[in-house]
Amino acid sequence: DMDVTAQISPYMRFGELSPRRVIAEVSAAALQATEGGDKKKKKKKWEPRTFLRRLAWRDLAYWSLWYFPTLADRPLRRHYEAQWWDDPGDREGGKLRSWQIGLTGFPLVDAAMRQLWCWGWMPNYLRHVVASFLVEYLGLDWRHGEAWFHDTLVDADVAINAFMWQNGGHSGMDM
């Protein structure tokens, strides 16, 4: 299988790579991919619109934190403050700890969480899977996931992390 993730987020997070440079490179690569040859026979290896859309989400996360300064610790939808959450359990054997160390008994979730712990990174789609699992299946507050990801991601970014976990917890902008 082809690796379809760019894994450039740490470089963008720490300012080693600018969004403008990424847009220019993606645009150039997309143009080069469409030039010459029989377009019907060519298989698309990647979709530049998806890549660029993720940059737009990144900017929306930054704007959201600027406009809503409590984004990292309070739900955007205030009625979620009254949401009842399950007890995460103790630090050693509770549901939260099992999720953090990848011992939930659900192979996809466990593999993703172990990848996060070992590499400090996981693909975007798996981030959504483990967020949904934490909130929907375990019934735990999204802020537990936000805190864990902030402590373990090599590309940890307050704005993006809070924005994505708010959405995972159904209290953010994404509906």
Structure tokens at 175: 């509906």
Annotated binding-site ranges for FAD? 5-9, 51, 155-157
Angstrom distance (rounded) from CA 11 to CA 89? 36
**What is the distance between the alpha carbons of residues 156 and 51, in angstroms, rounded to a whole number?**
19
Please state, as a whole number, how many other Cβ atoms lie within 10 Å of the Cβ of residue 80.
16
Inter-CA distances, 155 with 11, 28, 140, 149, Å: 8, 25, 24, 10
- Which residue from 175, 166, 170 is spatially nearest to 67, judged by alpha carbons? 166
The tokens describing 55, both together, are 């940059």
Binding site as annotated, residues = 5-9, 51, 155-157
